[in-house]
């Protein structure tokens, strides 16, 4: 669907289930996402993403490395957010890559390709991303993509209790180029 120099961002296929489950089972990958996910939850996540793609025409696409066809994780766009928060019903960019793919520029390459696709194919005036303050790798990428922290949009994630370390989320925004 989308090609960059080293990557293909595409719809999910049956061959993606097992490697994605391995990514989601890695405690380090899932540190800022409430811990490892079992195979059933990982498979259900792919099913939700596939349904979203069918409904919206975009999703958190599978990221495949061109050189060897390996699934590196996901990156893409989804419309959603968290009900009652400042990011309810917005266009979000998100990513999750296997630990072995970290530090090689894949996340930035995939995210930039996703942003470029959005500006060419969607009418949204802005795209947002969010994470927990401790996830410096993620919000660091947001900054490298040209996103700006918007403290007035920061929110408490409704899926976590008030004292949970993953409750507080910071929000970054990029506006449509001019």
What are the extents of the domains in the chain? 2-175
pLDDT band at 80 (very low <50, low <70, confident <90, very high): confident
Q: Cα–Cα distance between 87 and 84 in angstroms, integer?
A: 8
pLDDT (tens digit per residue) in 132-163: 999 999 999 999 999 999 999 999 988 889 99
Half-sphere exposure of 133 (CA within 13 A, CB side): 9
Segment 70-93 mean pLDDT: 89
* Res 86: pLDDT: 84
For residue 121, give both structure tokens.
């194919």
Model pLDDT, residue 82: 73
Is the CATH number 1.20.150.20 carried by domain 2-175?
A: no
Assess whether pLDDT exceeds 80 at residue 70: yes
Q: What is the pLDDT of residue 90?
A: 92
Residue 158: the pLDDT is 85
Q: Distance between CA atoms of 79 and 6, rounded to whole angstroms?
A: 26
């Amino acid at each position: 669907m989308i090609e960059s120099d080293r990557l293909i961002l595409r719809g999910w296929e049956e061959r993606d289930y097992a490697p994605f489950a391995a990514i989601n089972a890695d405690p380090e990958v899932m540190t800022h996402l409430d811990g490892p996910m079992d195979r059933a939850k990982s498979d259900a996540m792919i099913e939700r993403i596939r349904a979203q793609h069918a409904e919206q025409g975009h999703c958190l696409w599978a990221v495949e490395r061109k050189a060897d066809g390996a699934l590196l994780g996901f990156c893409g766009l989804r419309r959603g957010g968290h009900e009652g928060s400042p990011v309810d019903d917005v266009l979000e960019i998100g990513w999750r890559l296997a630990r072995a793919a970290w530090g090689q520029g894949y996340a930035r390459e995939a995210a930039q390709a996703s942003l470029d696709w959005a500006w060419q194919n969607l009418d949204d005036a802005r795209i947002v991303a969010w994470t927990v303050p401790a996830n410096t790798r993620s919000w660091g990428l947001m900054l490298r993509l040209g996103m700006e922290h918007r403290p007035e949009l920061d929110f408490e994630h409704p899926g976590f209790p008030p004292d949970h370390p993953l409750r507080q989320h910071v929000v970054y925004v990029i506006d449509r180029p001019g």
